[in-house]
């Protein structure tokens, strides 16, 4: 009775996929007293050859595996044995290729939070802003090539991502930093000019010239505004006043410098300083403690980035304003 082989099917399948085409799992030997299948005992698993219906025992992988079944196939059904060996080799090759492509696609790129990646993101934005390059720079074939030569793991952000980051940077860092610098200024000169972009947008830009605490002559771009209404004297004055209020510069403007366009002259003909800046507002606006993330990147010129597709605009000075 003790020698009787008792077989019971478990939730199990033959471990080698190719072998499953030639053999069918029948069941495990199991302990009649405990009812536990004898998983690791030599020759404890039974399989039926699908070609000759013979039942063969084999071992679980930890005890030597399916070599018994392979031997049977090789001896009695050499054609099937060869077929399965070819299939097995092909599937090994395929999984190797799959692994390789996974390694290439995933492993080789930086995570968005990687230090190297975020340093690249910042320097790309700096490059675009400083050299007045289009925000679609990352899409260009030449730049893609630069990336692969430098570090193929770098991921180039899309145009819209860059645009979004610029907006955020502008709100969270550029403007607060500009306000912080201007807060310590005593007096300065506003220079403004207007022109039409290549896209025919009316542009009004403001610079602020002043001498800082260390006696350095400074010139900051303090605002670039898109004006798509007729650039009359009133309109220009309205934008000027709004910017002075926004930056708390009202009382610090010693002089306004423009070209001799009649609209410009009209805007500032009777210079009335905008002295109505509320002191309380002044305090709350400029006392913000803003952490500047990237101090080493700040240069003397603070550019308020504008969404423009032209870098020739600066050459196109006179005569465009109505």
Q: Where does this chain bind Zn ion (CB under 5 A)?
A: 49, 51-52, 76
Q: Which is nearer to Zn ion, 65 or 134 (CB)?
A: 65
Residue 52 or 295 with smaller CB distance to Zn ion: 52
CB–CB of 108/152 below 8 Å? yes
**What's the DSSP call for residue 30?**
B
What is each CA distance from 26 to 8, 12, 29, in whole angstroms?
8, 10, 10
Q: Got the DSSP string for 261-283?
A: -HHHHHHHSS--------HHHHH
Q: Cβ closer to Zn ion: 19 or 302?
A: 19
We find the least distance from the C-beta atom of residue 105 to Zn ion, in angstroms, to be 43
Q: How far is the CB of 50 from Zn ion (least distance, A)?
A: 8
Q: Which is nearer to Zn ion, 71 or 168 (CB)?
A: 71
| Least distance CB 88 / Zn ion (angstroms) | 18
Residue nearest to Zn ion (CB): 49
- Give CA–CA dist 65/70, Å, rounded: 10
Q: How far is the CB of 104 from Zn ion (least distance, A)?
A: 43
For residue 78, the minimal CB distance to Zn ion (Å) is 11
**Structure tokens given for 302:** 């603070």
| CA distances from residue 281 to 159, 247, 254, 277, 284 in whole angstroms, order as listed | 37, 11, 21, 7, 5
Nearer to Zn ion, 51 or 63 (CB): 51
Q: What is the 3-state secondary structure (H, E, C) of 58-76?
A: ECCHHHCCCHHHHHHHHHH
């Amino acid at each position: 009775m003790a020698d009787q082989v008792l077989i019971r099917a478990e939730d199990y399948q033959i471990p080698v996929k190719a072998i499953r085409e030639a053999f069918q799992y029948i069941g495990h030997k199991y302990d009649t007293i405990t009812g536990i299948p004898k998983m690791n005992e030599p020759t404890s698993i039974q399989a039926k050859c699908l070609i000759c219906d013979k039942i063969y025992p084999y071992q679980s992988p930890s005890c030597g595996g399916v070599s018994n079944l392979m031997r049977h196939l090789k001896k009695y059904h050499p054609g099937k044995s060869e077929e399965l060996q070819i299939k097995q080799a092909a599937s090994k090759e395929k999984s190797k290729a799959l692994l390789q492509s996974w390694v290439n696609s995933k492993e080789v790129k930086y995570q968005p939070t990687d230090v190297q990646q975020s340093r690249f993101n910042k320097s790309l934005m700096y490059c675009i802003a400083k050299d007045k390059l289009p925000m679609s720079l990352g899409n260009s074939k030449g730049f893609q090539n630069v990336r692969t030569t430098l570090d193929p793991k770098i991921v180039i952000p899309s145009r819209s991502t860059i645009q979004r980051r610029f907006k955020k940077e502008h709100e969270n860092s550029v403007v607060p930093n500009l306000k912080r610098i201007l807060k310590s200024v005593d007096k300065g000169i506003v220079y403004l000019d207007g022109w039409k972009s290549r896209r025919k947008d009316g542009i009004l830009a403001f610079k602020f010239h002043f001498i800082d605490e260390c006696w350095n002559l400074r010139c900051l771009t303090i605002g670039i505004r898109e004006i798509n209404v007729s650039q009359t004297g009133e309109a220009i004055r309205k934008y000027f006043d709004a910017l002075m209020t926004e930056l708390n510069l009202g009382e610090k403007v010693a002089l306004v410098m423009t070209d001799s366009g009649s609209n410009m002259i009209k805007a500032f003909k009777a210079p009335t300083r905008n002295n109505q800046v509320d002191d309380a507002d002044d305090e709350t606006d400029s006392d913000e403690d803003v952490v500047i993330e990237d101090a080493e990147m700040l240069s003397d010129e603070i550019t308020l980035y504008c969404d423009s597709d032209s870098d020739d605009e600066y050459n196109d000075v006179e005569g465009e304003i109505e």
